[in-house]
Amino acid sequence: MRRAMPLPDTMFCAQQIHIPPELPDILKQFTKAAIRTQPADVLQWSAGYFSALSRGDPLPVKDRIEMPMATQKTDTGLTQGLLKVLHKQCSHKQYVDLADLEQKWKNLCLPIENFRTLLQLDPCENKIEWMKFLALGCSMLGGSLNTAMKHLCEILTTDPEGGPARVPFETFSYVYRYLSRLDSDIPEADTEAYLTSLQDTVNSRKNGMIGLSDFFALTRKV
């Protein structure tokens, strides 16, 4: 039997190689996104990045490089920046499919066991209300309800970074009640009394918004 001959080396000239004109910019933006996001698994994250890019979906990219947080009791891999990425990808829907959410979680190179642990806090079948998942994620970041709400405000606000981190009081109170109900140590009466006090502050301003300064000022009093 005759042995197959190796294929000869193919010579290309510049005229034979077609480089799409958009390729350099795509690679430049990809590189900058990878540097900002610092994915633990570049290949896994890259697959999610280009998949989202091809569909025109929000990209799994952080706004900036993050420093490690000191508020987490254990290193879950989850950060405020990664939660903000998920918010950009999912907040256009009131409810998100768990299968799609799990894939986005994987694309951010987050441990899947932490995703399942988070869902055990409020079990559901096929879908979850996005705001509730975001609230659970914020609770995973910090060891207290106040810390979770701080993360929530900083993720949801449209104020510049370092600003008052204002959010609609309606959204704040909805999440606060939700997380309080999951904590059996917080009496419902205490929750309602606290939110009523915050509502008085909001009403005096007449803009329907609450900022971190309002939140922590009242927290110190109660």
Express each pLDDT in 135-150 by its tens digit. 999 999 977 899 999 9
Question: Do 88 and 156 reside in the same domain of the chain?
Answer: no
pLDDT of residue 132: 97
Selection from 77, 31, 74, 73 nearest residue 50 by Cα:
31
pLDDT of residue 118: 94
Lowest mean pLDDT, pick from 49-53, 97-101, 127-131, 190-194: 190-194
Question: Do 108 and 82 reside in the same domain of the chain?
Answer: yes
Residue 14 in domain: no
Residue 49 in domain: yes
pLDDT of residue 38: 94
Structural domain including 217 reads 142-221
**CB distance 90 to 104 below 8 Å:** yes
**pLDDT exceeds 60 at position 222:** no
**pLDDT exceeds 50 at position 71:** no
Lowest mean pLDDT, pick from 5-14, 18-27, 85-94: 5-14
Rounded mean pLDDT, 4-9:
58
Question: Do 96 and 121 reside in the same domain of the chain?
Answer: yes
Which position has the higher pLDDT, 213 or 155?
A: 155
Count CB-CB contacts under 10 A for residue 206.
Answer: 7
Lowest mean pLDDT, pick from 41-55, 66-80, 98-112, 198-212: 66-80
Residue 101 in domain: yes
Rounded mean pLDDT, 177-186:
92
Residue 17 in domain: no
Q: Name every residue whose Cβ is closer than 8 Å to that of residue 214 and which is 6 or more positions away in sequence.
A: 198, 201, 202
Question: How many domains are contained in the chain?
Answer: 2
Question: Do 156 and 178 reside in the same domain of the chain?
Answer: yes
Question: Do 115 and 181 reside in the same domain of the chain?
Answer: no
Question: Do 196 and 217 reside in the same domain of the chain?
Answer: yes
Residue 22 in domain: no
pTM to 2 decimals?
A: 0.85
Question: Do 89 and 168 reside in the same domain of the chain?
Answer: no
Rounded mean pLDDT, 105-130:
95
pLDDT band at 6 (very low <50, low <70, confident <90, very high): low
Lowest mean pLDDT, pick from 5-14, 100-109, 162-171: 5-14
Question: Residues of the chain with pLDDT > 70: what percent?
Answer: 86
Lowest mean pLDDT, pick from 10-19, 77-86, 132-141: 10-19
pLDDT of residue 9: 59
Measured CA distances, 199 to 48, 71, 133, 168 (Å): 41, 28, 24, 11
Question: Do 151 and 196 reside in the same domain of the chain?
Answer: yes
Residue 15 in domain: no
Question: Do 206 and 124 reside in the same domain of the chain?
Answer: no
Selection from 120, 110, 116, 90 nearest residue 40 by Cα:
110
**CA triple 124-130-135, angle to 5 deg:** 90
Residue 2 in domain: no
Question: Do 148 and 188 reside in the same domain of the chain?
Answer: yes
Question: Do 51 and 99 reside in the same domain of the chain?
Answer: yes
Rounded mean pLDDT, 150-179:
94
Question: Do 124 and 153 reside in the same domain of the chain?
Answer: no
**pLDDT exceeds 50 at position 34:** yes
Domain boundary among 104, 129, 154: 129
Residue 108 in domain: yes
Domain boundary among 86, 104, 129: 129
